[in-house]
Structure formats: C-alpha cells, structure tokens
Amino acid sequence: MKHTTKVFIVLSMILSSTSALAERLEVFRWQALDGKATQLASSLVEAAKLHEKSGASVGVFQMDVGGSGNTTFDYVLRWDSSEAWAKTKAYNSGEEFSAFFAKAGADPSGQLMMSLEGLNWDASVTGASFADDGPFRVFIWQPTPGKMADIYETFMKAKAIHESLGARVNIYNEGIGGTGNIHYVMSWDSWSSMASSGDAIAMSPEFRALQASATGQVTPVGSIQGFPVYYSK
C-alpha cells in the first residue's frame, strides 16, 4: 500500500506539471562564434524583449563553469499556461520576430547547440518567480528505470534540505527535445550566498545520509554553473 501511494504521488506530480497552470520552459543553448560573445548576448537580450510582448518571461544566462569552447548562453522562455505558450509560438512566425531573426541571421554571432522543454515539478511556480535570482547551478540526472517513486521522494527531501540551507530549488522533467532526464536547478541571490550555502550543504549530515540512501536511483549526466545576464521584470 505504501508503494502504491508513492506511485500515485509521482503520477499526480507529473500530471500537475503538464497542466495548463504549471510553469513550462524551453531552453535554447547558444555558443558564441569567435570574438562575438558580446554581440550574441546583445542579440539574445533583444530577442527577449520581443518575446516578452508575446507573454513569455525570458532569461538570458551565461555559463561560467561546465561549458566548453567559446562563451555559452542559455536562452530560457517561460510560460504559466499552454495558452501563453501558444501565443509565443504564433508570434515567432509573425512579421516582427521574423524580421529580427532575419537581421540576426545576416550577421550571425552564435550557433545553436541544443534545445529542450522542461516541466516544473511544482505547479505553484510561475515564470515571474525567477526575476530576482542570481547565480545558479544545474545538476542533470538520468533516472534508473523503475525507481521514479523513490527518486521523487529523495529529490523532494533534498529540496527541503537545500532550501533550509539558503538555496532555492526547482526540479524539471525533460519534455520535447530531452531524453527523460531530471534537471535539479539551484539558485541564490548572490555569489556570497551561494558560497555560504554550499559550505553548509557540504557539512550537512542529513544531506550526506540522504545521498547514501539514494545510491542506485539516478546517474549523473552533467552539471553547469552560471549567472543571469537578463531576466524579465
């Protein structure tokens, strides 16, 4: 009965993450061409201001650890409903954004490395919730088949511990463009708060015990660290 209850919780979480009211995001990773990091950042911010007209909350984030090659940015679009998402998709093919895309393409400053959709585990989170976030870390995990109920329980315990020690945590299932991984996103107000929180987490016996108990549930895929260049206010 306990296992059945856990599975029901996980299914409810997944259903709520795909509801019309859950935060939904799309990430587009761009790597700057040689000597064009500043131009790429400027173009991404310009695109963000256009996409805000369509109802999206938009962030531009620069990686400083975990990337490879030239400067890399994540361009993140967030929506609070399927209707808002559809409005942005329609805007992308409209005259205004098509003109911007043609202009940017005439003097390219970056290349698209990948894109994917994410669905937040917490249906109470909105796109505007990230406006004051500072530096961040993302940990990407591949779930072990058949372990999702245990993974959900472990990750929610980890979230509670990390938030009690000063981090903010959002957890995402990959959607379109992904391969079924889980993205565990930690953010802070500043580099100093990241440092103090990280020290506290490293010293937490509760978190070390949780890590030990979760052996075999997930496999690490990758991690990145970065900071916001722009976010919708």
How much is the pLDDT for 22?
65
DSSP string, 135-203: -EEEEEEEEPTT-HHHHHHHHHHHHHHHHHTT-EEEEEEE-TTS-S-EEEEEE-SSHHHHHHHHHHHHT
pLDDT single digits (tens) 74-106 = 999 999 999 999 999 999 999 999 999 999 999
CATH number at residue 70: 3.30.70.100
Whether 14 and 75 have beta carbons less than 8 Å apart is answered as no
Q: In the predicted model, is pLDDT for residue 1 greater than 50?
A: no
How much is the pLDDT for 69?
84
CA Rg value for the chain: 18
Q: In the predicted model, is pLDDT for residue 10 greater than 50?
A: no
233 vs 29, residue with greater confidence: 29
Domain span at residue 112 reads 2-231
Query: What's the domain count of the chain?
Result: 1
2 vs 95, residue with greater confidence: 95
Spatial separation of the C-alpha atoms in residues 14 and 173, rounded to whole Å: 8
pLDDT single digits (tens) 38-57 = 999 999 999 999 999 999 99
Share of the chain above pLDDT 70, in %: 91
